[in-house]
Amino acid sequence: MVDIFTEILINSPLEKVADYAVNPDNASEWYANIKSVEWKSSKPLTLGSKVAFVAHFLGRKLAYTYEIVVLIPLQKIVMRTAEGPFPMETTYTWAAIDDGSTKMTLRNKGNPTGFSKMVAPFMGVMMRRANTKDLMNIKKIIEST
């Protein structure tokens, strides 16, 4: 099993951070590996919404669809793959540190299958590196707007 947890402090109010991060339309801006996003459900994002992503990771194209299984505004979102190469769950949480700063966490966990299972230990290291970079990207974007 792969279980990666990363976090970052963003110098911006909770509402601004959560509103940006929870919007799938922003994913390709701050996730380096996500190349496209397609809504499979109508907007806005709600419990049960489905969103398809195409990403490139470890030299492979990955197409997967996430379903929103937990949505607590300004606190937490949990997405699970409804379709894709292996079962994965992604969780974001946000917590206000004060009026102008927010701690954001990003957790990915799943059970690789097939080719992915063979490279799971390496995949975990690469996912942590990618998640850290993605959180640095979202911090830079939000703090500059």
Kindly list the distances between the CA atom of residue 56 and the CA atoms of 35, 109, 125, 130, in Å, as whole numbers in the listed order. 7, 18, 16, 11
Q: Looking at residue 1, what is its pLDDT?
A: 80
Given a contact cutoff of 8 angstroms between Cβ atoms, the answer to whether 134 and 24 are in contact is no
The enclosing domain of 86 has a CATH number of 3.30.530.20
Residue 11 pLDDT > 60:
yes
Whole-structure pTM value? 0.92
Residue of higher predicted confidence among 141 and 85:
141
Reference 134, options 56, 35, 33; nearest CA is 33
State both tokens at 71.
């949505």
Given a contact cutoff of 8 angstroms between Cβ atoms, the answer to whether 18 and 74 are in contact is yes
Residue 114 pLDDT > 90:
no
Burial of 57 (0-12, 13-18, 19+ CB in 10 A): middle
**pLDDT (tens digit per residue) in 47-80:** 999 999 999 877 778 899 999 999 999 999 999 9
Residue 30 pLDDT > 80:
yes
Q: Looking at residue 141, what is its pLDDT?
A: 98
Q: How many structural domains compose the chain? A: 1
Q: Which domain holds residue 139?
A: 2-143
Count the Cβ atoms, other than its own, within 10 Å of residue 62.
18
Across 68-82, 107-121, 126-140, least confident range: 107-121
